[in-house]
Structure 1
Amino acid sequence: MADPSQYKYPSPLEGYENAPPLSDDKAEDGKSFVNPKNEKLSKAYDEFPDPLNKGLQGGFDVHIYYLQQNKEQTQYARDLWERIRREFPELRIYRVWDKPIGPHPVAMFEVNLFTPAQFGAFIPWLAIWRGPLSALVHPNTVEDGDHRAIEKRNHSQRAIWMGERFPLDLGVFK
């Protein structure tokens, strides 16, 4: 995994530097906090924030892994692939690879997500329906700099895992 200390991070409070202090008042549940009201929802509900790709590549890739030597997982992966194609035809869904490809150490197929709405619908659905399979969810970013280094960061430091992690071959990004 990439070392987070090698990256620079913008302040999460950018744009809120002069905001009034937050209240310590508790919400109705007695545990969470009362948050200040906003006039409108965050624009992140409608579009991915920069530097996520808003173009042809899509903002996120979801790689769904299975152990190709395991007949039950192989069949489950093929059935899940078919179900996703039927239930989410608006997503870009690639072929099922029955062997490792690129940095991915086992068989898999890929799904691309283009909007926050697609992400918000598909990821919770996948949490329930992925069964015994693992999934890597990684962003696709549009940034200046070394493309391979950016891809390495997207597949490691910025990645989200569902299920068991698989060690990626990050050497392909050198």
Structure 2
Amino acid sequence: MSDPSIYTYPSPLEGYQNLPPLSDEKNADGKSYVNPPAEKLSPAYDSFTSPITNDERGGFDVHIYFQQNIDTEVKFATELWERIRREFPELRVYRIWDKPIGPHPIAMFEVNLFTPAQFGAFVPWLVINRGPLSALVHPNTGDDIRDHTQRATWLGQPFPLQVGLLRRLLEKQAEAA
């Protein structure tokens, strides 16, 4: 994981400064707080928050990993890949890699999510249906190293990514440009 102290972070309250204090009133459950009504839903329901891309690349990548030397994981990953393609045909699903590729240390396949609605449907579905497999969920902001490390979320056991390999690939792309 990348050291989070090397990045800067805007205040989470940006755009919400100088508002009246929040109430300490609790909901009927006695635990959660009553929130002030909003004039409209957050725009995050309709498009990914900047700087996440809302274009043909997709806002999020989901890399689903399996150990290529464990037959039960290979079989499960293949069946999961097929199920995803059938149940979520609107998503972009890539081939199954039976060996490490790029910064990914073991076999995997990738799924791209293009809208908050797709993210909201697919990620909870994957939490329940991923079985013994792990998944890396990361945004696409144009900062690939940060996206794969500091901004990434893991479902299941994380695997150490080959970030140095990703860094070298990005340097080669920059040189070629």
TM-score (norm 2): 0.93
What aligned pairs does 1:138-153 form with structure 2 within 5 A after superposition?
138-142=138-142, 150-153=143-146
Q: CA deviation at 1:172?
A: 1.5
Q: 2:124 maps to which residue?
A: 124
Contact between 2:102 and 2:166, CA under 8 Å: does it hold in 1? no
Separation in 1, partners of 2:75, 2:59: 29
**Alignment map for 1:45-64 (pairs within 5 Å):** 45-64=45-64
Residue 168, structure 1, aligned to residue 161, structure 2:
yes
Indicate whether 1:82 and 2:82 are aligned.
yes
Given residue 117 of structure 1, which amino acid in structure 2 is its aligned partner?
A
Runs of 4+ in 1 over 2 A off after TM superposition: none
Please give the per-residue CA displacement for 1:111-133, whole angstroms capped at 9, x wherever unaligned: 00000000000000000110000
Q: Does 1:158 align with 2:137?
A: no
State the SS of the aligned residue for 2:154: strand
SS of alignment partner, residue 47 of structure 1: coil
Q: Which amino acid in the other structure matches residue 169 of structure 1?
A: Q
Partner secondary structure for residue 109 of structure 1: strand
Q: 2-side partners of 1:10 and 1:27: how far apart?
A: 30
Q: CA deviation at 1:56?
A: 1.0
User: 1:25 — aligned with what?
Assistant: 25
Which whole-Å deviations, capped at 9, do the CAs of 1:54-97 have from their partners, x for residues lacking one? 11111000000000000000000000000000000000000000
The alpha-carbon deviation at position 173 of structure 1 amounts to: 2.7
Q: Structure 2 CA distance, aligned partners of 1:34 and 1:172?
A: 48
Amino acid at match of 1:158: R
Deviations 1:16-73 (CA, angstroms, capped at 9, x unpaired) = 1111110111111101111110021101001101000111111000000000000000
- Match of residue 38 from structure 2: 38
Sequence identity percentage: 68
Partner of 1:110 in structure 2?
110
- Separation in structure 2 between the aligned mates of residue 94 and residue 81 of structure 1, nearest angstrom: 9
Letter in 2 for 1:160: T
Q: CA RMSD in A?
A: 0.7
Runs of at least 5 residues in structure 2 that lack an aligned partner in the other structure: 168-177
How far, CA to CA, are the matches of 1:62 and 1:38 in structure 2?
32
- 2:138 partner SS: strand
The normalised TM-score by structure 1 is 0.94
User: Which amino acid counterpart does residue 19 of structure 2 have in structure 1?
Assistant: A
